Structure formats: C-alpha cells, structure tokens
Structure 1
Amino acid sequence: MKVTTAQNDRIAKMTFSSVYPHYVSKVEKKGRTIEELHQVIEWLTGFNVDKINELIDEKATFSEFFKQAKLHPNSHLIKGVICGYRIEDIEFELTKQTRYLDKLVDELAKGRKMNKILREDK
C-alpha cells in the first residue's frame, strides 16, 4: 500500500493528546503499565513523563510532537507492518515516525519483552 499525501496531512494535524488515551487503553487492557508505555515513548522520543504531559496539555499535533523529539539512534531498527503499511517503505518522515510509535505500542501490548521493544542487544 502506498501512503497518500492526504494521509500524511491527516497524521501531521492529529493531536498526540487525542491518540495517547488509546495507547494507554491498549497497553493496560493487555496487562502492561503506563510506566512501560512512558518508557517506550521516552526511548523513541527522549520525552520524559513531564514533557509527555506538557505535550498533551498543549494539544501538540504529531507534527509539533516529532519536531521536538530527538529520535533514538536505533529507531531505524523498527520494522514491520502497522496499519497495513510496511514501516520501512514509508517515505514521508513524519508518517514513518508516527508509525514507529504505533509499532512500539503494539509490541508492548502484545507482550513483547522490553529489551526487544527497545532494540537492545541483550
């Protein structure tokens, strides 16, 4: 599947605060914790809990969210299919970054071990 410009624009304008509760619900429903979710978000973006809450309060769009993020050097190791799209084939950088986050949350909810989610060599 090819990502369209309209999809890219929709993702760029979507607020992190509108998606975050879905992330929380998804991981908690599968027995994972908010702390683990925050650990995954911090690994990918460099945002601690205070910064995450600040971005939620500001109703930051994903465009603003990822402009402020400092992506982990190993984020390129996040591969696979999410929402019907192969992450490594997505050309629009913001959409790819957003799908990185979606994929990590998905892996957390599926019970994957944290060291695997965080792409550690252990």
Structure 2
Amino acid sequence: MTKHKIYSMSFAKVYPHYISKAEKKGRTKSEVDEIILWLTGYNQEELEVQLEKQTDFETFFAQSPQLNPSRALIKGVVCGVRVENIEEPTMREIRYLDKLVDELAKGKAMEKILRT
C-alpha cells in the first residue's frame, strides 16, 4: 500500500496554515504552538528545530518525544472521517492535530482543547 502524500510533506509548509486558520478567528500563534507541544511532547526549541529542518509529517510524529496519552480523548470528525476510527497511526496523529486546531479556531477554551 502506498503512503499518503501528506506523510512526506514538510510540517513547516503546513504549519503557517494552522497559524493562519487560528489567527483568522482571533486566536494566536502561541496557542497553536501550545497545542502542538501538548500533543507531541516537543518543547518550543525542539519545535523550532523541526520547522527549520523541514521535517516531514511522518518523521515529525515518529520523533515526538512523548505523544500525550490524553490525545485518545480527542473525538469528532475531520475531513468527513471520525478521528477515533482512523486505524493508521500516523494519519490518526495528523488528524488529531487538525481537530485540535479546528477546535481552537471555533473558539473552544484551551482547557477543553487540551483535555484538562
């Protein structure tokens, strides 16, 4: 089975779109970063390194220091697919991130987004 093309896409190329989506709705880059750090376990410096290196999505998630165990609490639909039903691990992580950024853009409180 061939891999989805997003796996080889640079995370740094999509990152500005996450920021833009949030900022259009009055949210901030730092909130997007907080979501990414919460989900992946990277710290801010490590995130910046991944962005500079133009790391692809597959590697970005594979090298995540500590994927947050609470991410399993993320439920809902992204691109017409329920995230909790996605079986392929890398695609599920990508869709978790998409869902969290969607929730941010929809005005949800950070405490709820971060499942605290």
TM-score range, shorter chain: over 0.9
Q: Structure 1 residue 80 and structure 2 residue 76: aligned? A: yes
- Select 1:17's aligned residue among 6, 12, 18: 12
Q: Are the equivalent residues in 2 in contact too, given 1:38–1:48 (CA < 8 A)?
A: no
Query: In 2, distance between residues paired with 1:113 and 1:37?
Result: 13
| Aligned ranges 1:31-70 → 2 under 5 Å | 31-69=26-64, 70=66
Query: In 2, distance between residues paired with 1:41 and 1:91?
Result: 21
Q: CA deviation at 1:44?
A: 0.3
Aligned amino acid, residue 37 of structure 2: E
Instruction: Provide the residue aligned with 1:90 in structure 2.
Output: 86
Q: CA deviation at 1:66?
A: 0.4
> Percent same amino acid among aligned pairs?
50
Aligned amino acid, residue 57 of structure 1: E
Instruction: Provide the residue aligned with 2:108 in structure 1.
Output: 112
Aligned amino acid, residue 60 of structure 1: T
Q: CA deviation at 1:89?
A: 1.1
Structure 1 runs (4+) greater than 4 angstroms displaced: none
Aligned amino acid, residue 84 of structure 2: E
Query: In 2, distance between residues paired with 1:115 and 1:79?
Result: 15
- SS state of the match for residue 74, structure 1? helix
Aligned amino acid, residue 115 of structure 1: E
Say how many residue pairs are matched.
115
Q: Once superposed, what is the RMSD of the aligned Cα atoms?
A: 1.1
Q: CA deviation at 1:11?
A: 2.0
TM-score when scaled to structure 1?
0.90
TM-score when scaled to structure 2?
0.94
Per-residue deviation, residues 63-89 of structure 1 (Å, max 9, x unmatched): 110011121010101111001111111
Q: CA deviation at 1:9?
A: 2.4
